[in-house]
Structure 1
């Protein structure tokens, strides 16, 4: 199925509907304006000599202009490659060299933060200078949109690298569009929907979770940059948002903000949590206010949307991501690749037209992940007798201590239920006697009134003795990845060196 230039068609159908809003400047883009800006960017890319398959690396903070560049790349067959501007200069240099861009576009922040990117030998342009140029230029030449690009790469998103070096996930137009079809149909999105996204545009959550599906449906995407709980609450009301995705760390800050109790959120049909398993305490805060809250599951390589659950069902099945969406398949398998029984834990595998094509120049990792048409997620899950799915944790994070399988998420949920615990995470470290031992890291609200022994006593009624952490480390704040997940990799490395 070749969709063609659906942005052009959307601009024909809904020319004056608002497509994008800059949450900071309040500037708005209609669909007509977005399409025209994408054409201007496409002509600029062509003038720079870009050809089909070339990578356009973008290092820039969140802005609606990202979508102008993204649709421009689609029009001429280039691959938009957004990089994580929260990385160190050494890390971002390494990824840029791996991507081998035909052009780099850098915003003012990146020009100052990563000056050596300009010395790598790749063609580059400052974002603001290009923006001024294309806003004043006249249309010229032709953009050849007749060639089918359905199976050509459109995006390359680098993974967070929490389990190793970042990998370039190649997504075709077909994969991105099928994720959008699946989301629009299964979640019932329409042009009346509006979302607010603080999720970074170098992350699939910022691009593919809600932004692209809503733009295809004709809705509105409000793009915000630096997350603030009070600002987020205000923007949700200012633009009468109907659905929004935040990661659990953001939800922690939202429910603790005084505005959370004051605002009605009357337009919201769904608060969606993703990026990491959500603490049950967050569910409770939303249930207390009778607000629609649910959890999703996805990954850069597939979707990221794969399951659907109503807020009403999520209320009775806390922690469940629901059932598979209409246009994808899922299974839970054991180490031999056989489907497990109801209630048993196994690896979640996914199949569908929304899957990635390959890891860029990493054939080994691609073959390990894509097998017999199925994507092996590396995530552990189980299914209950009603067919609802629950994510248990990462396969690589499962701890085997004394021959017993221990799932960190179970312990984390118990720890977070303590009223004085803000965040908690569990890691496993090597142990000569037990094979591995359980270590807990927590951040607390009032350090002066909590001790390790009180936390152990809090957990004891809910957990078997072999699941209790052998050590608990209390920190002021737990380290985070660029998208707000707790950085377990850094904690493991820190523990190894005695930090």
Structure 2
């Protein structure tokens, strides 16, 4: 028998063997026990192998939430292939970029996306195998040479007869990059397991694993039922799904295509969900509104935890949840695609503090002060501000981007210990704790979605009427921040917000579109032509040049 490793495939198999009949996964009307999940993943793994997918190959997962998403992830891990999350909101250029940048050889997708794939597949030279998950659409699979998901598995063995795996098999998570195009964060399995999944110790008093076989002893005796509300294409939801499954708990996926508070509470009541994971106020607000408008409609007595990560979860909304769920504990985690879980807010924020929260410093968690070059970076002194950083279990870098890797993963003070710079501004307090202030760059976080101004600006400037454009964030009650455009218009032209959105939608996904438009005579730039974002934000906040 092959040795076991800190590999998600190995650990899942041990959990499935320990309790095959326990229910593992629910999404809408689809349900699966651990044994069924194991067998279906084996069949899919055998089919992909038969199509030539091998260890190290990249497989796109281009789906809405569904059981097949989890089955596909596990199937990849079983044959040491690498699953790649594809944002289903992407349009032509974005989709082509990730298919090509990730060097995908296969793609598992909902049938709805056949036309989108057909538009870009010829330019993605390595992409040969397509497996289509059924939905309500009837697109012709022959258009891209796809095989239907169930048909692909029907003649395959459900036996486990795969090669030995390794701790450093990769789990790649695509996230936004500084240019706006997605970057593939390369996580070795062992590192992501300990950095983002608690090392198997989230639900056990025994704490993190010491060896892979310990996973069985961490299985919860009383099964907990957890429900991440974000799509699985987002890292926080994907990781939470793994946390639940690897602890023998039940994963309930949100089957709804749009965020519907009433629909979500109905699922939570039907499935007796214990823990709900949200992404900040963007989800908190509609959930709370649904509760206020439907008192006593649902039996939510099973809910004992509401946790957030990935976006601002305001103290006011946390307090509102405490009113609705007086016996519930609220958690607010810090982290990113590159860092995993960087801890929970420890409640040490001072009154009037505008920070995101406060966490403990450790030998693996610190504030790094950047110099003019990576070689000049140093550890912060008490009272200094710098970049929230992590060492230890961190990614191996960005896929295919050595330059960005070198800037983000650095050897601080030449001690041979690599630190990840998260990009979040933070202060090392006199008491040794770390106060976090959020993204130090111009990245816009709108409801947990990362939106980069440069990308939106390029889309806006493709409009024939727009001469110049800058994009900033302005406050939004629901999403925390909204995309706001400050533009100048060519002589003889006129623009409206709707017209600008319609044109930009041809180039960027809908969630990146500006929600406000401000037209000025000249977009603020410095003498060297560089954008003056602070001035653009002042213009936007003044509302003086707002155009509807």
Aligned-partner SS, 2:441: helix
Distance 1:182 1:157 in 2: 18
Aligned-partner SS, 2:16: helix
**Contact 2:23 2:34 (C-alpha < 8 Å) held by counterparts:** yes
Unaligned runs of 5+ in 2: 134-146, 205-217, 372-376, 412-417, 454-469, 479-496, 525-544
Q: Deviations over 1:438-478 (max 9, x none)?
A: 97734579xxxxxxxxxxxxxxxxxxxxxxxxxxxxx99xx
Alignment-derived partner of residue 128 in structure 2: 123
State whether structure 2 residue 7 is matched by structure 1 residue 17.
no
Aligned-partner SS, 1:287: helix
Unaligned runs of 5+ in 1: 399-407, 413-424, 428-436, 446-474
Distance 1:16 1:40, change over 3 A: same
So what's the TM-score if we normalise by structure 2? 0.68
**Contact 1:196 1:235 (C-alpha < 8 Å) held by counterparts:** no
- Count of residues paired in the alignment: 424
Kindly state the Cα deviation for residue 494 of structure 1 after the two structures are TM-superposed.
9.0
State whether structure 2 residue 251 is matched by structure 1 residue 246.
no
Alignment-derived partner of residue 363 in structure 1: 402
Distance 1:228 1:241 in 2: 17
**Contact 2:42 2:75 (C-alpha < 8 Å) held by counterparts:** yes
Distance 2:472 2:59 in 1: 42
Aligned-partner SS, 2:335: coil
1:213 to 228, 243, 258: 243
2:226 to 191, 195, 209: 195
State whether structure 2 residue 348 is matched by structure 1 residue 308.
no
1:159 to 172, 175, 178: 175
**Contact 1:58 1:105 (C-alpha < 8 Å) held by counterparts:** yes
Aligned-partner SS, 1:125: strand
**Contact 2:172 2:186 (C-alpha < 8 Å) held by counterparts:** yes
Distance 2:318 2:350 in 1: 8
Aligned-partner SS, 1:80: strand
Kindly state the Cα deviation for residue 371 of structure 1 after the two structures are TM-superposed.
0.7
**Contact 1:380 1:395 (C-alpha < 8 Å) held by counterparts:** yes
What are the residue-to-residue correspondences of 1:83-482 with 2, within 5 Å? 83-120=86-123, 121=125, 122-128=127-133, 129-139=147-157, 143-146=161-164, 148-153=165-170, 155-161=171-177, 164-179=180-195, 182=198, 184-186=200-202, 188=204, 191=220, 192-208=223-239, 210-225=240-255, 226=257, 227-248=259-280, 249-257=282-290, 258=292, 261-262=295-296, 263=298, 265-289=300-324, 290=326, 291-303=328-340, 305-309=341-345, 321=357, 323=359, 329-336=364-371, 337-353=377-393, 355-372=394-411, 373-384=418-429, 388-397=433-442, 441-443=474-476
Kindly state the Cα deviation for residue 362 of structure 1 after the two structures are TM-superposed.
0.5
RMSD between aligned residues: 3.9
Distance 1:228 1:198 in 2: 10
Distance 1:183 1:315 in 2: 32
Distance 1:343 1:37 in 2: 54
Distance 1:109 1:266 in 2: 37
Distance 1:325 1:392, change over 3 A: closer
Distance 1:489 1:55 in 2: 33
Distance 1:10 1:230 in 2: 34
Kindly state the Cα deviation for residue 135 of structure 1 after the two structures are TM-superposed.
4.6
Alignment-derived partner of residue 459 in structure 1: none
Distance 1:315 1:187 in 2: 30
Distance 1:387 1:109, change over 3 A: farther
Distance 1:71 1:439 in 2: 39
Kindly state the Cα deviation for residue 374 of structure 1 after the two structures are TM-superposed.
0.6
